[in-house]
Amino acid sequence: MTQYSALLPERLSRLEELAYNLWFSWNEEALELFRSIHPVKWETVYHSPVRMLLETSPEDWARLASDEAFIDLYEKAIASWDAYTGRKAWFQETYPQHIGRHIAYFSAEFGFHESLPIYSGGLGVLAGDHCKSASDLGLPLVAVGLLYKRGYFNQKIDHQGTQISEQVTYDFNKLAVRPAIRNNEEVHVFVELPGRAVRLKVWEVRVGNVPVYLLDADVDGNSYDDRSLTAQLYGGNQDTRIQQEIILGMGGILALRALELYPYVYHINEGHAAFLSLERIREHIRGGLPFSAALEMVRASTIFTTHTPVPAGHDAFPVGMFEHYLGELLYSLNADRQAIVELGLDRSKNVFNMTYLAMNTATMRNGVSELHGAVSRDMFKGFHGNLNASEIPIGHVTNGVHLRTWMAREWKELLDRYLPENWRTHQSGREQWAALADAPEETLWDIRQRLKERLILYAKTNVEEQRRRNGQPDDSGSVFLRPDVLTIGFARRFATYKRATLIFRDQERLDRLVNDPERPVQFIFAGKAHPADIPGQKLLRDIYQLSQTDRFRGKIVLLENYDMNMARYLVQGVDVWLNNPKRPYEASGTSGEKAALNGVLNFSVLDGWWQEGYDGENGWSIDADNRADEETQEKENQESLYSVLEKKIVPLYYNREEQAAVPVQWVKRMVHSIETLAPQYNTDRMVQDYTNLYYTKIMDRSLHFSTDNYAAATRMADYKRFIRTKWWAVKIVGVEDPYPPVSFAESLDKRLLKTIGVIVHLGEIWYKDVAVEALYWEEQANGAWVPVVVPFSLFGEAVSPGTYKFEGRLPAHLRHGPHFQLRVRPISPDFAHDFEMNEVTML
């Protein structure tokens, strides 16, 4: 059928199936199989099974086909794959009624593996891990993204520490992608851009059982400029960006339709993909729905995950630019032109904001950690009138990482020995992880040391290559990272909020840590700065230059070209994973979760996932008073960084009987860290949360809204229109709050209740279409104040036409005004949450 099947001997014919499925990247047998074809070449083809197949000669295949050890590996891997695809997984067991109802997951980047470079950092890796767990759990998920001809970029560091961003053009024939095929033909779709239609070829990547469809504009028939629209991830100017996002969102929907896929759920992973909602609105309008009902249908079936805790980080385009590029769409929906613009309009800046579009076209929205959920609710308060931030309908699902991808093989084998047999498919069961404590400390420490030695070898090669290329003398004989030294890792995108150079603020103090004769510390840094991020590149240069000074050479090293391959070495190999972002800018962070799976201890600012993961014993925190101004927090973080290292981390690491012995207390902390963090911060748990909290609810809503020719969507649109036009009349016209209700002594008894009456004028709105409630704040034992909502019910007959009395019972000591508020809001059984409409009247 393809170029390879001809090459492969009959006995090994299914190698092709394995090579074209990213499943190999998290399956030990498949990895071992491909590696053993030729261990050296496995490195030169950069762990790409497809290239391995292409570059193995017929003679070698003939030899391997009669090598019984190889055939044995092959058969094991194939058996493992067949068992994987044939099994009934969590989703099928838990939600049999939803089998076959697709979830479409849209993202601008996907990090599956180093051999498929269509990611830049954490967002992409998260999307990749999401797909992998979706496959493991049996979700009917399909993903949509872009296939970048030039990926992101390869990073080189020159002899002055300047980042060189090297462009690489990928040959898609050598990646694990193949043209998507429908009815024996390649799938192509056309996206309208000003004055032309751009043709997109649809490619397919298999990730276990999850298909990922990637769009590519580099095809015959497109102009030179159009062909480069999908050249680069986050490249080009705003014009490129908006067109890429149109291709992703609108082209993505067209691609699904061309593949005859009609998902029940649409997941917008970060605002980049939000144009998908516009294409879907257009689709429903073409099908005969009015704009308002089309919007309700789209809203009911969409979930939006935001990842950006700062307003400036959200993608936004000038309104004129939006109108220029979406002119065709606006024209085809002529009657609702302004309504469409309003879906993304940020009036304060007169821009079309992709996050606003996503928020306005998705009833389900979430942040990616508990803290980030709260930050997002606060940031998007403006979307919901004058509600309390805690009631804003944005939830959270804390990010995780795909355990089988990120945990070192040595750890997995250890878990096989100590944990119940099914631990791989039941990762979130907390109890079973406790069995890890039965493993001898020497064994645990031995794994830790072995992984560190592997990392040091890897780092040495990386740095030697840098030096060789930069024409620097060979110094392979001098001091370079020692396996007996406490090793701290810091690697991530060099965005400035991540403050890569915080540890360098006091170089004397750092010098004392690094060069302590008894208890030294060494550091490994890595990360790419976006080519347009000049401050980020300066941070890199600063670290590089310090790493070349006499006192730090070979003890603080900067590796080049951070990617998923290097990330695995680092998160598995260091002792401590350092993360010191400016709070609360790290929406979640995931690299620390990868480290935690490998017994690496986190040392981090209490931001993102670590705010909830840290229990005081499973790592360390870098502290600051969160209420202080930024400068103070930065100073406090800096002080905490040094002092925790000096007083806690270094002493614990070197606390042992003799030099080579096992640091028992350290190992205990490692075990505690794995036990408390692994069951929680993995993507199986995360994807299960998405499924339980959002996906299955959206499936029900999608079905409900669309049956009987979209009756519920149409009703919802009509109801909202009615409420919006009539709400002006709603008014709280009287409050009956008896006072003094009770004696002073009685008023101290918070259980004593009194009846409050409220007279509400509703005009033409029927009383059954509103909720009347009181809201007050109650102090918790821990000092936090939480809102308490008390529903009121109708009392007697209407006071006069359109005016009603409602009653409710509240603690007797509360008074209307100073202590509690009353409010009226519209309700509908079809609302996804209480505040689906902004119309809320308060007094």
Ligand X SMILES: *Cc1c(COP(=O)(O)O)cnc(C)c1O
Residue numbers of the site for ligand X (CB under 6 A)?
121-122, 125, 492-493, 562-564, 567, 589-591, 594
DSSP readout, 446-480?
HHHHHHHHHHHHHHHHHHHHHHHHTTPPP-TTS--
Nearer to ligand X (CB atom), residue 572 or residue 696: 572
DSSP state of 576: E
Contacts 24+ apart (CB under 8 A), 80-87: 80/27, 80/29, 80/30, 81/17, 81/18, 81/21, 81/23, 81/27, 81/30, 84/23, 84/27, 84/208, 85/209, 87/138
DSSP readout, 410-459?
HHHHHHHHHS-GGGGT-TT-HHHHGGGGGS-HHHHHHHHHHHHHHHHHHH
Contact 593, 126 (CB under 8 A): no
Nearest to 149 by CA among 125, 132, 171: 171
Task: Compute the least distance from the CB of residue 772 to ligand X, in Å.
Answer: 45
Q: How is the beta sheet containing 841-842 ordered, strand by strand?
A: 785-791, 770-779, 820-826, 841-842
Nearer to ligand X (CB atom), residue 564 or residue 832: 564
Task: Compute the least distance from the CB of residue 563 to ligand X, in Å.
Answer: 5
| Percent helix / strand / coil, the chain, rounded to 5 | 45, 20, 35
Task: Compute the least distance from the CB of residue 530 to ligand X, in Å.
Answer: 13
Nearer to ligand X (CB atom), residue 536 or residue 826: 536
Nearer to ligand X (CB atom), residue 252 or residue 536: 536
Task: Compute the least distance from the CB of residue 116 to ligand X, in Å.
Answer: 13
Task: Compute the least distance from the CB of residue 492 to ligand X, in Å.
Answer: 3
CA distance 37 to 71: 11
Nearer to ligand X (CB atom), residue 436 or residue 502: 502
Distance of CA 35 to the CA centre of its chain: 30
CA distance 173 to 179: 10
Task: Compute the least distance from the CB of residue 401 to ligand X, in Å.
Answer: 7
Contact 632, 626 (CB under 8 A): no
Contact 119, 109 (CB under 8 A): yes
Report the b/e string of 785-811 with b at 16+ CB within 10 A.
Answer: eeeeebebeeeeeeeeebbbbbebebb
Residue whose entry in the numeric block shows the structure tokens 């047999």: 421
CA distance 336 to 285: 11
Phi-psi domain of 503 (left: phi exceeds 0; alpha: psi -120 through 50; beta: other):
alpha
Q: Give the torsion sign (CA, 441, 443, 449, 452).
A: negative
Phi-psi domain of 527 (left: phi exceeds 0; alpha: psi -120 through 50; beta: other):
left
Nearest to 165 by CA among 536, 492, 500: 536
Nearer to ligand X (CB atom), residue 306 or residue 590: 590
Task: Compute the least distance from the CB of residue 589 to ligand X, in Å.
Answer: 4
Nearer to ligand X (CB atom), residue 562 or residue 654: 562
Task: Compute the least distance from the CB of residue 682 to ligand X, in Å.
Answer: 13
Nearer to ligand X (CB atom), residue 151 or residue 251: 151
Distance of CA 463 to the CA centre of its chain: 31
CA distance 278 to 340: 8
Task: Compute the least distance from the CB of residue 152 to ligand X, in Å.
Answer: 10
Nearer to ligand X (CB atom), residue 227 or residue 492: 492
Task: Compute the least distance from the CB of residue 77 to ligand X, in Å.
Answer: 25
Nearer to ligand X (CB atom), residue 586 or residue 737: 586
CA distance 171 to 151: 11
507 Cβ partners below 8 Å, 6+ apart? 546
Task: Compute the least distance from the CB of residue 597 to ligand X, in Å.
Answer: 12
CA distance 650 to 490: 17
Task: Compute the least distance from the CB of residue 145 to ligand X, in Å.
Answer: 17
Nearer to ligand X (CB atom), residue 415 or residue 567: 567
Nearer to ligand X (CB atom), residue 563 or residue 675: 563
Nearer to ligand X (CB atom), residue 52 or residue 125: 125
Nearer to ligand X (CB atom), residue 584 or residue 589: 589
Nearer to ligand X (CB atom), residue 590 or residue 598: 590
Nearest to 493 by CA among 614, 579, 594: 579
DSSP readout, 190-231?
EEEETTEEEEEEEEEEEETTEEEEEEE--STTS-HHHHTTTS
Nearest to 175 by CA among 156, 199, 152, 148: 148
Nearer to ligand X (CB atom), residue 230 or residue 399: 399
Nearer to ligand X (CB atom), residue 579 or residue 676: 579
Task: Compute the least distance from the CB of residue 514 to ligand X, in Å.
Answer: 23
SS3 110: strand
Task: Compute the least distance from the CB of residue 525 to ligand X, in Å.
Answer: 12
Torsion of CA 825, 826, 829, 832, to 10 degrees: -70
Task: Compute the least distance from the CB of residue 188 to ligand X, in Å.
Answer: 32
Q: Which two tokens stand for residue 336?
A: 């609702």
Task: Compute the least distance from the CB of residue 593 to ligand X, in Å.
Answer: 8
In DSSP terms, which residues pair with 105 in a beta bridge?
143, 267
Nearer to ligand X (CB atom), residue 112 or residue 695: 112
Task: Compute the least distance from the CB of residue 625 to ligand X, in Å.
Answer: 24
517 Cβ partners below 8 Å, 6+ apart? none
Task: Compute the least distance from the CB of residue 684 to ligand X, in Å.
Answer: 17
